[in-house]
A and B are shown apart, each in its own frame.
Chain A
Amino acid sequence: MHSRHITIILFAALLLGTSAFGVGIEIGKPAPNFSLEDVSGKAHMLKDYAGKYVVLEWVNFDCPFVKKHYDSGNMQMLQKKYTEQDVIWLSINSSAPGKQGNFSSEEIIKRSLEYKAAPTAYLVDDKGRVGKWYGAKTTPHMFIIDPEGNVIYAGGIDDKKSVNVEDVLVSKNYVSAALDEVLAGKEVSINFTKSYGCSVKY
Protein backbone atom coordinates (compact mmCIF):
# COMPACT_ATOMS: atom_id res chain seq x y z
CA MET A 1 0.00 0.00 0.00
CA HIS A 2 1.13 3.54 -0.67
CA SER A 3 2.49 5.30 2.30
CA ARG A 4 -0.47 6.97 3.84
CA HIS A 5 -0.31 10.60 4.28
CA ILE A 6 -2.60 11.57 7.05
CA THR A 7 -3.29 15.15 7.70
CA ILE A 8 -5.56 16.24 10.40
CA ILE A 9 -6.62 19.79 10.08
CA LEU A 10 -7.39 21.37 13.35
CA PHE A 11 -10.15 23.83 12.95
CA ALA A 12 -10.55 22.99 16.34
CA ALA A 13 -8.99 25.35 18.65
CA LEU A 14 -12.69 26.00 19.02
CA LEU A 15 -13.29 22.52 20.10
CA LEU A 16 -10.72 21.91 22.75
CA GLY A 17 -11.78 20.04 25.81
CA THR A 18 -13.21 16.63 26.33
CA SER A 19 -16.74 15.69 25.57
CA ALA A 20 -19.01 12.73 25.71
CA PHE A 21 -17.45 11.13 22.67
CA GLY A 22 -13.81 12.03 22.79
CA VAL A 23 -11.82 15.14 22.19
CA GLY A 24 -13.81 17.75 20.37
CA ILE A 25 -16.95 15.84 19.39
CA GLU A 26 -20.27 17.10 20.63
CA ILE A 27 -23.74 16.79 19.21
CA GLY A 28 -24.68 19.99 17.41
CA LYS A 29 -21.07 21.18 17.28
CA PRO A 30 -18.73 21.23 14.25
CA ALA A 31 -17.20 17.89 13.30
CA PRO A 32 -13.40 18.06 13.15
CA ASN A 33 -12.11 18.17 9.61
CA PHE A 34 -9.69 15.48 8.54
CA SER A 35 -7.96 14.13 5.50
CA LEU A 36 -7.49 10.41 4.99
CA GLU A 37 -6.52 8.35 1.98
CA ASP A 38 -8.60 5.62 0.46
CA VAL A 39 -7.12 2.34 -0.80
CA SER A 40 -6.14 3.91 -4.13
CA GLY A 41 -4.22 6.69 -2.39
CA LYS A 42 -6.80 9.37 -3.09
CA ALA A 43 -7.18 11.84 -0.24
CA HIS A 44 -10.65 12.58 1.12
CA MET A 45 -11.17 15.67 3.24
CA LEU A 46 -14.31 16.02 5.26
CA LYS A 47 -14.67 19.64 4.24
CA ASP A 48 -14.79 18.57 0.56
CA TYR A 49 -18.20 17.17 1.37
CA ALA A 50 -19.61 20.36 2.84
CA GLY A 51 -23.23 20.80 1.81
CA LYS A 52 -23.98 17.07 2.08
CA TYR A 53 -24.88 14.68 4.84
CA VAL A 54 -21.88 12.52 5.73
CA VAL A 55 -21.93 9.18 7.54
CA LEU A 56 -18.75 7.96 9.23
CA GLU A 57 -18.71 4.21 9.88
CA TRP A 58 -15.83 2.72 11.89
CA VAL A 59 -15.17 -0.69 10.41
CA ASN A 60 -13.09 -3.83 11.06
CA PHE A 61 -14.16 -6.68 8.79
CA ASP A 62 -12.88 -9.30 11.27
CA CYS A 63 -14.92 -8.04 14.22
CA PRO A 64 -17.95 -10.30 14.84
CA PHE A 65 -20.24 -7.28 15.35
CA VAL A 66 -19.19 -5.85 11.98
CA LYS A 67 -19.57 -9.27 10.39
CA LYS A 68 -23.14 -9.38 11.68
CA HIS A 69 -23.98 -6.25 9.68
CA TYR A 70 -22.03 -7.24 6.55
CA ASP A 71 -22.97 -10.95 6.51
CA SER A 72 -26.62 -9.95 6.78
CA GLY A 73 -26.19 -7.38 3.99
CA ASN A 74 -27.50 -4.69 6.33
CA MET A 75 -24.55 -2.31 6.12
CA GLN A 76 -24.28 -2.58 2.34
CA MET A 77 -28.03 -1.97 2.04
CA LEU A 78 -27.73 1.20 4.12
CA GLN A 79 -24.69 2.37 2.16
CA LYS A 80 -26.47 1.86 -1.14
CA LYS A 81 -29.79 3.31 -0.02
CA TYR A 82 -28.32 6.56 1.33
CA THR A 83 -25.51 7.17 -1.18
CA GLU A 84 -28.26 6.98 -3.83
CA GLN A 85 -29.84 9.90 -1.98
CA ASP A 86 -26.60 11.92 -2.23
CA VAL A 87 -25.38 11.06 1.26
CA ILE A 88 -21.61 10.58 1.56
CA TRP A 89 -20.71 7.35 3.36
CA LEU A 90 -17.12 6.99 4.60
CA SER A 91 -16.05 3.67 6.08
CA ILE A 92 -12.98 4.28 8.26
CA ASN A 93 -10.57 1.65 9.52
CA SER A 94 -8.38 2.68 12.47
CA SER A 95 -6.70 -0.67 13.13
CA ALA A 96 -2.98 -0.23 13.70
CA PRO A 97 -0.50 -2.23 11.60
CA GLY A 98 -0.30 -5.79 12.91
CA LYS A 99 -3.63 -5.56 14.67
CA GLN A 100 -6.94 -7.18 13.75
CA GLY A 101 -8.64 -5.48 10.82
CA ASN A 102 -5.53 -3.81 9.38
CA PHE A 103 -5.39 -5.07 5.82
CA SER A 104 -3.39 -4.46 2.68
CA SER A 105 -5.09 -2.49 -0.08
CA GLU A 106 -5.55 -5.71 -2.04
CA GLU A 107 -7.26 -7.39 0.89
CA ILE A 108 -9.54 -4.40 1.48
CA ILE A 109 -10.55 -4.38 -2.19
CA LYS A 110 -11.08 -8.15 -2.16
CA ARG A 111 -13.23 -8.08 0.97
CA SER A 112 -15.19 -5.03 -0.16
CA LEU A 113 -15.97 -6.78 -3.46
CA GLU A 114 -16.95 -10.00 -1.70
CA TYR A 115 -19.29 -8.08 0.55
CA LYS A 116 -20.50 -5.84 -2.30
CA ALA A 117 -19.81 -2.97 0.07
CA ALA A 118 -21.02 0.33 -1.31
CA PRO A 119 -19.59 3.21 0.72
CA THR A 120 -18.42 6.38 -1.00
CA ALA A 121 -14.91 5.45 0.15
CA TYR A 122 -13.06 3.11 2.52
CA LEU A 123 -10.50 5.24 4.36
CA VAL A 124 -7.39 4.09 6.14
CA ASP A 125 -6.55 5.64 9.51
CA ASP A 126 -3.86 3.22 10.65
CA LYS A 127 -2.31 5.71 13.07
CA GLY A 128 -5.70 6.03 14.71
CA ARG A 129 -5.59 9.82 14.82
CA VAL A 130 -9.01 10.44 13.34
CA GLY A 131 -10.56 7.59 15.32
CA LYS A 132 -9.22 8.90 18.60
CA TRP A 133 -10.15 12.44 17.72
CA TYR A 134 -13.73 11.43 17.10
CA GLY A 135 -13.68 9.18 20.15
CA ALA A 136 -14.48 6.08 18.08
CA LYS A 137 -14.53 3.24 20.61
CA THR A 138 -16.06 0.32 18.80
CA THR A 139 -16.56 -1.26 15.43
CA PRO A 140 -19.07 -0.35 14.28
CA HIS A 141 -19.31 3.18 15.70
CA MET A 142 -21.41 5.59 13.68
CA PHE A 143 -21.44 9.37 13.27
CA ILE A 144 -23.62 11.55 11.06
CA ILE A 145 -22.58 15.06 10.03
CA ASP A 146 -25.02 17.56 8.53
CA PRO A 147 -24.41 19.75 5.44
CA GLU A 148 -23.22 22.58 7.73
CA GLY A 149 -20.55 20.29 9.16
CA ASN A 150 -22.14 19.67 12.57
CA VAL A 151 -22.35 16.30 14.28
CA ILE A 152 -26.01 15.29 14.43
CA TYR A 153 -25.70 11.68 15.51
CA ALA A 154 -23.08 9.65 17.38
CA GLY A 155 -23.38 6.13 18.68
CA GLY A 156 -24.43 2.62 17.84
CA ILE A 157 -25.84 1.40 14.57
CA ASP A 158 -28.84 -0.12 16.32
CA ASP A 159 -30.29 -1.19 19.64
CA LYS A 160 -29.44 -4.93 19.60
CA LYS A 161 -26.08 -5.44 21.22
CA SER A 162 -25.46 -8.86 19.80
CA VAL A 163 -23.49 -10.72 17.15
CA ASN A 164 -26.55 -12.59 15.86
CA VAL A 165 -27.39 -11.89 12.24
CA GLU A 166 -31.09 -12.59 12.93
CA ASP A 167 -31.22 -9.60 15.29
CA VAL A 168 -30.70 -7.17 12.41
CA LEU A 169 -34.29 -7.69 11.30
CA VAL A 170 -35.78 -6.95 14.70
CA SER A 171 -33.53 -4.09 15.78
CA LYS A 172 -34.18 -0.36 15.70
CA ASN A 173 -31.58 1.10 13.35
CA TYR A 174 -30.56 4.50 14.72
CA VAL A 175 -28.56 5.56 11.67
CA SER A 176 -31.34 4.82 9.26
CA ALA A 177 -33.88 6.53 11.53
CA ALA A 178 -31.71 9.66 11.85
CA LEU A 179 -31.03 9.87 8.10
CA ASP A 180 -34.69 9.35 7.21
CA GLU A 181 -35.63 12.13 9.60
CA VAL A 182 -33.14 14.70 8.33
CA LEU A 183 -33.77 13.85 4.69
CA ALA A 184 -37.46 14.49 5.38
CA GLY A 185 -36.56 17.87 6.87
CA LYS A 186 -37.07 16.81 10.47
CA GLU A 187 -34.84 16.95 13.54
CA VAL A 188 -33.01 13.83 14.65
CA SER A 189 -35.02 12.43 17.54
CA ILE A 190 -32.32 10.12 18.93
CA ASN A 191 -28.95 11.77 18.43
CA PHE A 192 -26.72 9.99 20.95
CA THR A 193 -26.63 6.32 21.86
CA LYS A 194 -24.14 3.85 23.26
CA SER A 195 -22.14 2.24 20.50
CA TYR A 196 -21.46 -1.45 20.79
CA GLY A 197 -18.97 -3.79 19.23
CA CYS A 198 -15.31 -4.78 19.39
CA SER A 199 -12.90 -2.17 20.66
CA VAL A 200 -11.19 -0.23 17.88
CA LYS A 201 -7.77 -1.87 17.48
CA TYR A 202 -5.65 1.29 17.82
Chain B
Amino acid sequence: MSRRHRRIRQLYTIFLILIALFSHASETPHVRAELIPLTNTAIPGEMIDIAVVFNMSPGWHTYWQNPGDAGMATSFSWTLPEGFELVSMREPAPARLTEEDITTFVHHNEAIYLFQVLAPSLIPDISSFGLKLDWLECKDVCLPGSAELGFTLIRDAVVDSDKAQLTSLIKRAEKRFPNITSTLAGTARIKQDHLELSINRELLQTVKILEADFFPVEELIYDINRPVRLKKGFWKNSILIPLLKGREKNPEILEGLLVLKLSSQDRVKTTYSLINQAVQN
Protein backbone atom coordinates (compact mmCIF):
# COMPACT_ATOMS: atom_id res chain seq x y z
CA MET B 1 0.00 0.00 0.00
CA SER B 2 1.42 3.36 -1.00
CA ARG B 3 1.95 6.21 1.44
CA ARG B 4 -0.82 8.15 -0.24
CA HIS B 5 -3.28 5.28 0.19
CA ARG B 6 -2.35 4.87 3.85
CA ARG B 7 -2.93 8.58 4.37
CA ILE B 8 -6.34 8.38 2.72
CA ARG B 9 -7.28 5.37 4.88
CA GLN B 10 -6.18 7.18 8.02
CA LEU B 11 -8.26 10.21 7.09
CA TYR B 12 -11.23 8.04 6.27
CA THR B 13 -11.00 6.32 9.66
CA ILE B 14 -10.81 9.66 11.45
CA PHE B 15 -13.73 10.86 9.34
CA LEU B 16 -15.86 7.87 10.41
CA ILE B 17 -14.99 8.44 14.07
CA LEU B 18 -15.94 12.10 13.79
CA ILE B 19 -19.16 11.25 11.99
CA ALA B 20 -20.02 8.99 14.89
CA LEU B 21 -19.25 11.72 17.40
CA PHE B 22 -21.33 14.36 15.67
CA SER B 23 -25.05 14.24 15.23
CA HIS B 24 -26.68 15.68 12.11
CA ALA B 25 -30.20 15.68 13.48
CA SER B 26 -32.09 16.06 16.71
CA GLU B 27 -35.72 15.49 17.52
CA THR B 28 -38.11 16.74 20.17
CA PRO B 29 -41.67 15.38 20.25
CA HIS B 30 -42.80 18.08 17.79
CA VAL B 31 -39.76 19.43 15.96
CA ARG B 32 -36.94 17.75 14.10
CA ALA B 33 -33.83 19.84 13.45
CA GLU B 34 -31.28 18.69 10.91
CA LEU B 35 -27.93 20.09 9.85
CA ILE B 36 -27.06 19.37 6.22
CA PRO B 37 -23.79 20.48 4.60
CA LEU B 38 -24.57 21.20 0.96
CA THR B 39 -20.90 21.16 0.12
CA ASN B 40 -19.19 17.82 0.66
CA THR B 41 -15.63 19.05 0.78
CA ALA B 42 -13.69 22.01 2.09
CA ILE B 43 -11.72 23.93 -0.53
CA PRO B 44 -9.36 26.74 0.55
CA GLY B 45 -10.87 30.19 -0.05
CA GLU B 46 -14.23 28.86 -1.18
CA MET B 47 -17.71 29.12 0.28
CA ILE B 48 -19.34 26.24 2.16
CA ASP B 49 -23.14 26.12 2.02
CA ILE B 50 -24.97 24.63 4.98
CA ALA B 51 -28.68 24.08 5.49
CA VAL B 52 -30.49 23.84 8.80
CA VAL B 53 -33.89 22.25 8.36
CA PHE B 54 -36.69 22.32 10.92
CA ASN B 55 -39.67 20.04 10.44
CA MET B 56 -42.62 20.78 12.67
CA SER B 57 -45.52 18.47 13.51
CA PRO B 58 -48.89 19.71 12.19
CA GLY B 59 -50.12 22.74 14.14
CA TRP B 60 -46.75 23.43 15.76
CA HIS B 61 -44.56 26.39 14.94
CA THR B 62 -41.23 28.01 15.66
CA TYR B 63 -40.51 31.75 15.46
CA TRP B 64 -39.01 34.22 12.99
CA GLN B 65 -36.14 36.58 13.91
CA ASN B 66 -38.71 39.04 15.28
CA PRO B 67 -41.16 36.69 16.98
CA GLY B 68 -43.84 39.38 17.35
CA ASP B 69 -45.90 39.81 20.52
CA ALA B 70 -44.76 36.53 22.11
CA GLY B 71 -42.45 33.60 21.53
CA MET B 72 -38.72 33.48 20.96
CA ALA B 73 -36.56 33.75 17.86
CA THR B 74 -34.59 30.64 16.99
CA SER B 75 -30.93 31.17 17.81
CA PHE B 76 -27.89 29.70 16.05
CA SER B 77 -24.52 29.57 17.76
CA TRP B 78 -21.76 28.26 15.52
CA THR B 79 -18.44 26.75 16.51
CA LEU B 80 -16.30 26.98 13.39
CA PRO B 81 -12.82 25.66 12.70
CA GLU B 82 -10.06 28.25 13.03
CA GLY B 83 -10.04 30.76 10.19
CA PHE B 84 -13.52 29.87 8.90
CA GLU B 85 -15.95 32.79 8.82
CA LEU B 86 -19.74 32.87 8.87
CA VAL B 87 -20.70 35.15 5.99
CA SER B 88 -24.47 35.02 5.69
CA MET B 89 -27.71 33.53 6.91
CA ARG B 90 -30.95 33.33 4.99
CA GLU B 91 -34.21 32.75 6.83
CA PRO B 92 -37.50 31.86 5.17
CA ALA B 93 -40.39 34.32 5.16
CA PRO B 94 -42.65 33.81 8.17
CA ALA B 95 -46.42 33.53 8.39
CA ARG B 96 -48.54 35.87 10.49
CA LEU B 97 -50.41 34.14 13.32
CA THR B 98 -53.03 36.13 15.26
CA GLU B 99 -54.79 34.63 18.26
CA GLU B 100 -56.79 36.75 20.71
CA ASP B 101 -55.10 40.04 19.74
CA ILE B 102 -51.65 38.48 20.05
CA THR B 103 -49.76 38.50 16.75
CA THR B 104 -46.70 36.39 16.20
CA PHE B 105 -44.47 35.72 13.19
CA VAL B 106 -43.96 32.01 12.81
CA HIS B 107 -42.69 29.13 10.72
CA HIS B 108 -45.00 26.17 10.13
CA ASN B 109 -44.33 22.71 8.69
CA GLU B 110 -40.81 23.18 7.33
CA ALA B 111 -38.32 26.01 7.76
CA ILE B 112 -35.05 25.82 5.85
CA TYR B 113 -32.25 28.21 6.78
CA LEU B 114 -29.17 28.55 4.60
CA PHE B 115 -25.77 29.60 5.92
CA GLN B 116 -22.59 30.41 4.03
CA VAL B 117 -19.19 29.90 5.62
CA LEU B 118 -16.00 31.09 3.96
CA ALA B 119 -13.04 28.73 4.20
CA PRO B 120 -9.62 30.34 4.81
CA SER B 121 -6.77 29.97 2.34
CA LEU B 122 -5.07 27.42 4.59
CA ILE B 123 -7.24 24.65 5.96
CA PRO B 124 -6.52 21.45 7.87
CA ASP B 125 -7.17 17.98 6.44
CA ILE B 126 -10.33 17.64 8.51
CA SER B 127 -12.58 20.54 9.57
CA SER B 128 -15.27 20.07 12.22
CA PHE B 129 -18.29 22.35 12.45
CA GLY B 130 -20.58 22.61 15.47
CA LEU B 131 -23.94 24.32 15.85
CA LYS B 132 -25.95 24.94 19.03
CA LEU B 133 -29.61 25.59 18.29
CA ASP B 134 -32.23 26.98 20.68
CA TRP B 135 -35.83 27.39 19.70
CA LEU B 136 -39.32 27.59 21.12
CA GLU B 137 -41.94 25.23 19.71
CA CYS B 138 -45.55 26.16 20.31
CA LYS B 139 -49.06 25.02 19.54
CA ASP B 140 -51.53 25.46 22.40
CA VAL B 141 -48.54 25.14 24.74
CA CYS B 142 -44.93 26.21 24.33
CA LEU B 143 -41.89 24.04 24.89
CA PRO B 144 -38.24 24.98 24.63
CA GLY B 145 -36.12 22.97 22.22
CA SER B 146 -32.38 22.79 21.77
CA ALA B 147 -29.85 20.70 19.90
CA GLU B 148 -26.11 20.45 19.43
CA LEU B 149 -25.32 19.30 15.92
CA GLY B 150 -22.17 18.99 13.88
CA PHE B 151 -20.43 17.62 10.83
CA THR B 152 -16.95 17.29 9.40
CA LEU B 153 -15.48 18.05 6.00
CA ILE B 154 -12.28 16.67 4.52
CA ARG B 155 -10.12 18.94 2.44
CA ASP B 156 -10.29 18.25 -1.27
CA ALA B 157 -12.28 15.05 -0.68
CA VAL B 158 -14.53 13.63 -3.35
CA VAL B 159 -17.63 12.33 -1.60
CA ASP B 160 -20.79 11.16 -3.29
CA SER B 161 -23.93 12.94 -2.19
CA ASP B 162 -27.58 12.58 -3.07
CA LYS B 163 -27.74 15.44 -5.56
CA ALA B 164 -31.44 15.03 -6.27
CA GLN B 165 -32.25 15.34 -2.57
CA LEU B 166 -30.05 18.43 -2.19
CA THR B 167 -31.52 20.05 -5.29
CA SER B 168 -35.02 19.48 -3.97
CA LEU B 169 -34.00 20.95 -0.62
CA ILE B 170 -32.54 24.09 -2.19
CA LYS B 171 -35.58 24.47 -4.42
CA ARG B 172 -37.93 24.30 -1.42
CA ALA B 173 -35.75 26.78 0.46
CA GLU B 174 -35.59 29.28 -2.39
CA LYS B 175 -39.38 29.35 -2.63
CA ARG B 176 -39.62 30.94 0.82
CA PHE B 177 -36.52 33.11 0.79
CA PRO B 178 -37.01 36.84 0.39
CA ASN B 179 -35.12 38.74 -2.29
CA ILE B 180 -32.27 40.61 -0.72
CA THR B 181 -32.56 43.68 -2.89
CA SER B 182 -35.88 45.10 -3.83
CA THR B 183 -36.79 47.33 -6.68
CA LEU B 184 -40.36 47.52 -5.45
CA ALA B 185 -40.07 50.15 -2.81
CA GLY B 186 -40.03 53.87 -3.44
CA THR B 187 -39.92 56.45 -0.69
CA ALA B 188 -40.86 55.82 2.94
CA ARG B 189 -42.42 58.65 4.96
CA ILE B 190 -43.96 58.96 8.43
CA LYS B 191 -47.60 60.09 8.24
CA GLN B 192 -49.11 60.45 11.74
CA ASP B 193 -49.96 56.93 12.90
CA HIS B 194 -48.48 55.03 9.99
CA LEU B 195 -45.53 54.82 7.66
CA GLU B 196 -46.33 55.28 3.99
CA LEU B 197 -44.19 53.32 1.58
CA SER B 198 -44.72 54.21 -2.04
CA ILE B 199 -44.27 51.58 -4.72
CA ASN B 200 -42.16 52.24 -7.77
CA ARG B 201 -44.22 53.27 -10.75
CA GLU B 202 -42.30 51.03 -13.14
CA LEU B 203 -43.54 48.00 -11.26
CA LEU B 204 -47.14 49.09 -11.48
CA GLN B 205 -47.06 49.33 -15.26
CA THR B 206 -47.03 45.55 -15.47
CA VAL B 207 -48.63 44.31 -12.27
CA LYS B 208 -51.44 45.08 -9.88
CA ILE B 209 -51.00 44.82 -6.12
CA LEU B 210 -53.76 42.74 -4.57
CA GLU B 211 -52.53 42.48 -0.98
CA ALA B 212 -49.59 43.66 1.10
CA ASP B 213 -48.10 42.72 4.43
CA PHE B 214 -45.02 43.83 6.33
CA PHE B 215 -42.95 42.00 8.94
CA PRO B 216 -40.73 44.49 10.79
CA VAL B 217 -37.32 43.52 12.11
CA GLU B 218 -37.39 46.25 14.76
CA GLU B 219 -39.62 45.80 17.80
CA LEU B 220 -41.79 48.40 19.57
CA ILE B 221 -42.05 50.68 16.54
CA TYR B 222 -44.79 49.17 14.41
CA ASP B 223 -48.26 48.13 15.51
CA ILE B 224 -48.29 44.57 14.28
CA ASN B 225 -51.86 44.02 15.45
CA ARG B 226 -53.34 46.49 12.96
CA PRO B 227 -53.49 45.47 9.31
CA VAL B 228 -51.15 46.77 6.65
CA ARG B 229 -53.30 48.59 4.07
CA LEU B 230 -53.03 49.51 0.43
CA LYS B 231 -53.64 53.06 -0.74
CA LYS B 232 -54.38 53.21 -4.43
CA GLY B 233 -54.07 56.55 -6.14
CA PHE B 234 -54.09 57.75 -9.72
CA TRP B 235 -50.41 58.58 -9.71
CA LYS B 236 -49.04 56.21 -7.15
CA ASN B 237 -49.83 53.21 -4.97
CA SER B 238 -48.65 53.11 -1.39
CA ILE B 239 -48.53 50.67 1.46
CA LEU B 240 -49.59 51.97 4.87
CA ILE B 241 -47.75 50.30 7.72
CA PRO B 242 -49.30 51.07 11.13
CA LEU B 243 -47.02 52.59 13.76
CA LEU B 244 -47.31 51.84 17.45
CA LYS B 245 -49.03 54.50 19.49
CA GLY B 246 -46.82 55.48 22.41
CA ARG B 247 -43.62 54.47 20.60
CA GLU B 248 -40.52 56.11 21.97
CA LYS B 249 -39.17 57.05 18.55
CA ASN B 250 -39.97 57.06 14.88
CA PRO B 251 -38.07 54.64 12.67
CA GLU B 252 -35.06 56.07 10.86
CA ILE B 253 -34.68 52.96 8.74
CA LEU B 254 -37.53 50.87 7.41
CA GLU B 255 -36.23 47.35 7.85
CA GLY B 256 -38.25 44.22 7.39
CA LEU B 257 -39.91 41.86 5.00
CA LEU B 258 -42.42 43.17 2.49
CA VAL B 259 -44.86 40.60 1.16
CA LEU B 260 -46.88 41.52 -1.91
CA LYS B 261 -49.54 39.51 -3.66
CA LEU B 262 -49.39 40.64 -7.28
CA SER B 263 -51.47 39.93 -10.31
CA SER B 264 -50.16 40.15 -13.82
CA GLN B 265 -51.98 38.95 -16.92
CA ASP B 266 -54.33 36.74 -14.90
CA ARG B 267 -51.45 35.21 -12.98
CA VAL B 268 -51.18 35.75 -9.24
CA LYS B 269 -47.88 35.49 -7.43
CA THR B 270 -46.50 36.40 -4.03
CA THR B 271 -43.18 38.20 -3.70
CA TYR B 272 -41.03 38.45 -0.57
CA SER B 273 -38.60 41.37 -0.43
CA LEU B 274 -36.24 42.47 2.29
CA ILE B 275 -36.53 46.23 2.72
CA ASN B 276 -33.80 48.32 4.29
CA GLN B 277 -34.12 51.98 3.43
CA ALA B 278 -34.05 55.40 5.02
CA VAL B 279 -37.30 56.92 6.26
CA GLN B 280 -38.09 60.56 5.52
CA ASN B 281 -39.60 62.15 8.62
Contacts and interface: CB of A to CB of B under 8 A. Distances in A.
B210 interface: no
Nearest to B99: A199
Given A194-B220, A198-B142, A18 B245 contact: yes
Given A63-B142, A100-B141, A199-B104, A163 B136 contact: yes
B70 A199 contact: yes
A99 B141 CA distance: 8
A20 B138 contact: no
B245 A199 contact: no
A128 to B, nearest CB: 7
B246 A128 contact: no
B244 interface: yes
Contacts of B246: 19-21, 26-27, 192
Nearest to B244: A20
A138 B69 CA distance: 7
Contacts of A18: 245
Interface of A: 18-22, 26-27, 62-65, 99-100, 128, 132, 135, 137-138, 161-163, 192-194, 196-202
Contacts of A202: 99-102
B252 interface: no
Contact of A64 (B73, B99, B144): B144
Nearest to A164: B134
B72 A201 contact: no
Nearest to B103: A137
Contacts of A128: 100
- Which secondary structure dominates where chain B touches chain A? loop
Given A19-B246, A192-B220, 20 more contacts: A19-B245, A20-B244, A20-B247, A22-B101, A27-B246, A63-B142, A64-B143, A100-B140, A128-B100, A132-B100, A132-B101, A135-B101, A138-B70, A192-B246, A194-B219, A198-B71, A198-B142, A199-B70, A200-B70, A202-B99
A171 to B, nearest CB: 14
B248 interface: yes
A21 B140 CA distance: 23
Contact of B142 (A22, A64, A161): A64
A180 B247 CA distance: 24
Contact of A162 (B134, B138, B141): B134
Given A194-B220, A199-B99, A99 B140 contact: yes
23 contacts: A18-B245, A20-B246, A21-B246, A27-B246, A64-B142, A65-B72, A132-B100, A138-B69, A161-B72, A192-B220, A192-B248, A193-B220, A194-B219, A194-B220, A197-B70, A198-B138, A198-B141, A199-B69, A199-B99, A199-B102, A199-B104, A200-B100, A201-B140
A137 B144 contact: no
Interface in B216-267: 219-220, 244-248
Interface string B88-131: 00000000000111101000000000000000000000000000
A165 to B, nearest CB: 11
Contacts of B138: 198-199
